[in-house]
Structure formats: C-alpha cells, structure tokens
Amino acid sequence: MADTAASAAPTGHAGSRDLQHHFDSMEQQRDASSLGMWVFLVTEILFFGGLFLAYTVYRSRYPLAFAEASRHLDITLGTFNTAVLIISSLTMALAVYSAALGRRKAIILFLLATMALGGTFLGVKAVEYTHKFHDHLVPGAGFRFPGPDARPAEIFFSLYFTMTGLHAAHMIIGIGLLTVLVLQARKGRYGPGYYTPVEVSGLYWHFVDIVWIFLFPLLYLIGRHLH
Amino acid sequence: MSQHVVPPRVYFAVFAALIVLTATTTAVSFLDLGPWNTVVALGIAFLKATLVVLFFMHVKYSPRLTQIVIAGGLFWLAILLALTLSDFMTRGWLPILR
C-alpha cells in the first residue's frame, strides 16, 4: 500500500548525499536518529517525572487544598487547549507522512498548521496566566487565597506554574524546531529518501503533547465534583 | 527501504479516539466517584498517551531496540515513583518513629 510510495527510489536531493559515512545504510541512519531522540525523550520523561512525583507527594498531603485550588483553574480553557494540542499532534503526524511521500507543499502546510496550533495553545496559556496574576494566585508576596488552606494552595500554584511553564518552554522550542523544518522543506530538502529531521522533531512534538495529556487532568480536573 | 509509512486513516482514527477520551475525562470529572475520580482520570491519560506513543510516534512499527529503550526509561520512572512514594506514603505507619 503506502509502503510502495515510500520504497520508491530516492529522487532529487534525497539520495546518498544524506548518508553519513559512519552508517551502512539510510535505514540504519534513520533508526539511529530515532533511537537518539528517544534516549533524549527518556531523560525528559524522568525530568517531568520528578515534577509529577513532587505533585503526588504534596497532593497526598493536602488533598482538599489541592482540590480547592484546582477549582480556580479554567476548565473550559484547559479542555480547549487539550483539544488544540491533540489537533496539532495530528497535523504533525500528517507532516511526517507528507515528508515520507515527498509532498513538499503538504509538508509546509501541515508544519505551519502545527505551529499555528502551538501558538494558539501558548496564547490561551498567556490569557490564563494573566487571570492568575489578576486574581493574586501567583505564588509570592502577593498571593491571596481565601480560607485556611492558603499555604498548601500556594504549593499547588507553585507546581502549576513550574509544570505548565516548563511545558510551555518545550512548546516554544518545538515551534523553533518546526520553523527550521519549514525553511528546509521550502528548499525541497525532504523526500522519501530522507526526512529524518521531520520524523524526530515529530517525536519531540508528540512527547510535549503527552506531558500535557497528564498535566490537564492532574491540574484542572481534581476538584470539579466537590460542591 | 523497510520504513513503515502509516496510512492517514490510522492517524484520523487515533485522533478521533483522543478527542472522545478528552471529552470523557472532562465529563467524568464532574461526577463524584470518590477515590475513583483520580483512577479514571489517570487511566484515560495513560490510554491517550499509549495511543500517541504507539501510532503518532510509530513505536508500534519501531525497531525492537527503540522499544526496549523506551520500556527501560519507563522502568526507571517506575523506580523513581515507587521508591519515593514507598517512603512518603508509609511514614504514618510506625507511630513510634514520628
């Protein structure tokens, strides 16, 4: 099926020029690149894992304060942003698919769509952060929280800003990576014979999506059923 | 080349499943299931993450070596979580040590 298109002989720029001398074949080079990205992503799993662990420890200690604080997050914006990131993962997957088939225009369009969706996510995040500043929910001297649970609620918001902030930083880096891909794709750099940069950048983008898939329920959804 | 190109209909099916699961997890969060709220939320998150990893990230079609490295990474994450939580969650069990 689709394999036939991908196994067609490399054409144009995508030929042996792209094979580094220390690899036996394009396939070996491709697998090595994917493996390298996955080794990096494993370190990222443990990096975010430490933050999720800190969240678990504090939430188990202050479950009601965390639920109370969680209700100050906007569930509509959170759900919207989750959908935006999932759509961006779809467009990213389609960009990789287009690259594998050597459809230059489609690669660029899907990459630009992915970047636009990433930008939308960050825009919504900026709106949410602004609301938190207005509501005095940013940890520090200006933090105000009604009730006796102000201190543990401040811990919740410290984790909220650290985790979503680092996630947003990863998104910004991802948009930077995609910008390079668009510029290279415009030059016709990617085709069936060589599209490894699109493939491994896709792995990174999907990973950042997965981090949000866990952040969303743990930050936004834990206090909704109370009251 | 033996590279596997996943047909787009697979991507669209996974995408539809991810959107449905997102709507489900948001809807379920408004029901009071006691401790099961967290279980359901995390279960759906794991399911979504698995779909992304297997299909969007092509791990279902990746070489064995890549799959082993990922499994190894998740095993280290399990060690990080299990050893730390086995400390924090059991501190109240022996009152004499408080």
Q: Contact at 8 Å (CB) between A83 and A124?
A: no
Residue A198 is encoded by which pair of tokens? 């699109």
8 Å CB contact of B8 and A82 = no
> What is the Cα A180 distance to its own chain's centre?
17
Chain B residue numbers touching A34 (CB-CB < 8 A): 62, 66
pLDDT in tens, A112-126: 999 999 999 999 999
**pLDDT above 60: residue A134:** yes
Residue B82 has pLDDT above 80, yes or no: yes
pLDDT in tens, B14-63: 999 999 999 999 999 999 998 899 999 999 999 999 999 999 999 999 99
Amino acid at A213: I
Does residue A63 contact residue A183 with C-beta atoms inside 8 Å? Answer: no
Q: What are phi and psi of B62, to 5 degrees?
A: -80, 160
Number of H-type helices and E-type strands within chain B: 3, 0
Query: Which residues on adjacent β-strands are paired with residue A191?
Result: A194
Domains within chain A, CATH numbers bracketed: 24-226 (1.20.120.80)
Q: What is the pTM of this model?
A: 0.91
With contacts defined as CB-CB under 8 Å, which chain A residues touch B41? Answer: 217-218, 221-222
Name every chain A residue with its beta carbon within 8 A of the beta carbon of B64. Answer: none
* B35–chain A Cβ distance below 8 A for any pair: no
Sequence-distant (6+) residues with CB within 8 A of A37 are: A200, A203, A204
Across A186-223, b (16+ Cβ under 10 Å) vs e yields: eeebbbbbbbbbbbbbbbbbbbbbbbbbbbbbbbbbbb
Rounded distance between C-alpha atoms, residue A96 and residue A6, angstroms? 12
pLDDT over 80 (residue A11): no
DSSP state of B56: I
Q: Which ipTM was obtained for this model? A: 0.92
| Chain B neighbors of A27, CB-CB under 8 A | 1-3
Cβ proximity of A79 and B26 under 8 Å: yes
Q: Which of A38, A60, A89 sits opposite B52 (nearest CB)?
A: A89
pLDDT tens column, B54-76: 999 999 999 999 999 999 999 99
Residue A10 has what pLDDT?
A: 46
Name the residue ranges covered by the structural domains of chain B.
Answer: 8-93
CA distance B92 to chain A (A): 11
Is the pLDDT confidence value at A6 over 50? no
